[in-house]
Amino acid sequence: MAPAAAIRIGTQGWSYADWVGAFYPPGAKQEHYLPFYAEIFDTVELDTTFYHPPKPSIVRSWARHTPETFRFAAKVPQAITHAAKLASMGEQLQAFARALDPLGERLGPLLVQMPAEFERDAGTVGVLDRFLTATPAGVRLAVEFRHRSWHRAETYALLRARRAAIAWTDWRDLPRVTEVTADFLYLRWLGEREAVTRFDRVAIDRSDAFAAWHADLERALPEVREVFGYFNNHWAGHSPASANEMKRRLGLIPVEPRELWTQRELW
């Protein structure tokens, strides 16, 4: 029997002032956030890397404040995905991966989030193929397409050939894609920015969506070795609650943040 997939569910980012008193203990300061977060979840998606590669001191700090079993997924910089749209970006991808070297085993997949205007044609298919071919050894890529022209069998075949995962993304009216193209899954629950303005409580009932995504996940689990899933605050209002709800549905034991608050009374 194949071993059960390792399932890691977390959030997109951890530094939100609205979480203080809802997720983080009252009075928590920013330097407390990541160590506390890492006691609740074993993975996070880094959004800050989308804007610029991190400084070595920052990466070392991330590693220092998390256990060895923790995993960071990192968004590939927008200079690669949005400005250059992957063209001639192999060396830059390798440089970005090197910047994350201090994470060591803590480094999870890199997310290649493409802009909505990145449409499929012969030229962009070639660009994508060359980019994926330049993936550094030991680095896993997940690709998020926001144009539905990519949602076709030829795309999935290319990703399988390059061992890259297609990101399963819940975003606006984007069609649901639940293809398995690698030995890991990468899921993103995004929502709409206009729907939620505060992040300290669940504001949208996502029961039906939870059930649908749970069913898709259960179906795909026998095909993969690892699952990485990340909730955005805009999906339902408070991403830690969403992440813990999905963990419960998958039969995992969630850690409730308030149970750890009494240990932080001296903050």
Say which CATH number the domain at 65 has: 3.20.20.410
Q: How far apart are CA 127 and CA 131, in angstroms?
A: 6
Contacts of 160 (CB under 8 A, 6+ apart): 181, 182
User: CB of 165 within 8 A of CB of 143?
Assistant: yes
Q: How far apart are CA 7 and CA 30, in angstroms?
A: 27
Question: What pLDDT, on a 0 to 100 scale, did the predictor assign at position 262?
Answer: 76
The ranges of the chain with pLDDT < 70 are 1-3, 263-267
Domain residues for the domain of 193 are 6-264
Instruction: Domain count for the chain, please give it.
Output: 1
Question: What pLDDT, on a 0 to 100 scale, did the predictor assign at position 1?
Answer: 38
In this prediction the pTM is: 0.96
Question: What pLDDT, on a 0 to 100 scale, did the predictor assign at position 267?
Answer: 54
Q: Is 107 helix (H, G, I), strand (E, B) or coil?
A: strand
Is 1 contained in some domain? no
